[in-house]
Structure 1
């Protein structure tokens, strides 16, 4: 499947992020396994360790959108 990204690139960042969020939710609901590259797994582990070390750095979805919409 090939998708022309030209129109997506023209969207404002806030709309791009809404699309990313919808795609992420769809991926999360899928039964299809997600295969990570070693560098992706390493980065996920690094971020997880960073969050465990300092949970105060986490933000919720509402805060994310407040920052995006400024």
Structure 2
């Protein structure tokens, strides 16, 4: 039976938003040190299979990572 933890942990609501984000990031960083233990839901696998199939059928339909990243960086600068 999984352990039950108080939600949120004591003192969490007293943190600033930035501190809360840092806290959650540190939790994820700890989990990510063992990626082989992170379960991958079947619906994630299904989406990956669908996207790989679409890519194989139309490999030139997408955009490169360089293009996507440039768009993201441009949008962030415009904020």
TM-score normalised to the size of structure 1?
A: 0.48
Which structure would you say has the larger RCO, counting Cα contacts within 8 Å and 6 or more residues apart? 1
Q: Name which one, 1 or 2, has greater alpha-carbon Rg.
A: 2
Give the TM-score normalised by the residue count of structure 2. Answer: 0.44
